[in-house]
Chains A and B, each alone.
Chain A
Amino acid sequence: MNNAILMSSGADDIDFMIHGVFSYELFGQTLWITTSHVCILIVVLLIAALGIAANRTMKHAKEIPEGFQNVLEILVEKLDGVVYGTMGKVAAPKFVNYISTIFIFIFMSNISGLFGLRPPTADYGTTLALGLITFFLIHITQFKNLPLSQIWKDMCSPLPPWLPIWFPINLISEIAVPISLSLRLFANVLSGTVMMALVYGLLSKIALVWPAALHVYFDLFSGAIQTYVFCMLTMTYISQNYETE
């Protein structure tokens, strides 16, 4: 923290950094279990509890749904609709489970700021992992579905395949995909976290009820939009490799 600036503004309880909980030694390196790990654990346990409850409910599913079963059916139907609408009938059944999983995980992580946690997606480690999963999925499906000649032609795309001048530039744009995906999610959630920390830190005397509106915008609205965008971009990138079929 830049203590000089913050102390002079009269607030020393602005806190949006990641803290270490405890450290351990592994192969001579000191590694830390941080607050991000703890928050991810809480989110994952919550999702697991939701899954177990959903399983128990759907085992005793009724013809005319009521209560929790309604919620689950709406959730699954909406996610199915979005994935099928974007990826088409061929690719969608293979990826609907994965897309739904990351959708629920990122959404729960983003809105966990509402419950006083530091959102795990405001840690670049989390979002880079998600971006790398997308990157490998794109290229595995590419090598599975397209012949090598087609991939080479795409990589040299504005020029003919025997003149690979454009190849390095296309390579850079491929590598930029996971970086821009992860940085977009990270920076959006981080900016919300920093704004809320500044409001609670600098205006702590008058921050009574109105920060709730800011929470609705930064945590709920922004979080939902960024979740949608991450899943949408993942689906578009993956389904590009199915277009020739």
Chain B
Amino acid sequence: MNITGEDLILACSAIGAGLAVIAGIGPGIGQGIAAGHAAAAVGRNPGAKGDVMSTMLLGQAVAETTGLYGLLIAMLLLFVKPLV
């Protein structure tokens, strides 16, 4: 079986894409912490549920950005193939 240079780059791009989505671990932990603290806050002060929810969602969406960057890199490696 002959492996050309392009095949090698494609295979390594697939591995790189898999490594890039490991970036999802960080936002997962961060969003979990935010949701846990929001639940505790609602438990202490149920009247402020609306404010707590909107603040939590905003913070979670900002924290999610780093994970999405990893996802974008994976997509670029798999579908745009900039290295070939």
Contacts and interface: CB of A to CB of B under 8 A. Distances in A.
B75 A190 contact: yes
B57 interface: yes
Given A226-B61, A228-B57, A232-B58, A2 B79 contact: yes
Contacts of A187: 68-69, 71-72
Interface in A125-183: 180, 183
Interface residues of B, number: 17
A1 B68 contact: no
B61 A183 contact: no
Interface in B33-84: 54, 57-58, 61-62, 64-65, 68-69, 71-72, 75, 78-79, 81
Task: Please report whether the interface of chain A is mostly helix, strand, loop or mixed according to DSSP.
Answer: helix
Q: How many A residues are at the interface, by size bracket?
A: 10 to 19
A228 B81 CA distance: 33
A191 B68 contact: yes
Contact of A2 (B10, B54, B64): B10
B17 to A, nearest CB: 10
A143 B57 CA distance: 31
A195 to B, nearest CB: 11
Contacts of B75: 190, 194
B81 A184 contact: no
Nearest to A236: B58
Given A2-B79, A2-B81, A191-B68, A184 B61 contact: yes
B20 interface: no
Interface centre among B61, B62, B65, B81 (most CB of A within 10 A): B61
Contacts of B68: 183-184, 187-188, 191
A242 to B, nearest CB: 19
Contact of A233 (B54, B58, B79): B58
B65 A184 contact: yes
A122 to B, nearest CB: 11
A229 B58 CA distance: 6
B65 A1 contact: no
Contact of B71 (A5, A191, A228, A229): A191
B34 to A, nearest CB: 13
Interface of A: 1-2, 4-5, 17, 180, 183-184, 187-188, 190-191, 194, 225-226, 228-229, 232-233
Interface of B: 10, 14, 54, 57-58, 61-62, 64-65, 68-69, 71-72, 75, 78-79, 81
Q: 8 shortest A-B CB distances, which residue pairs?
A: A187-B68, A229-B61, A184-B65, A187-B72, A232-B58, A180-B65, A2-B78, A187-B71
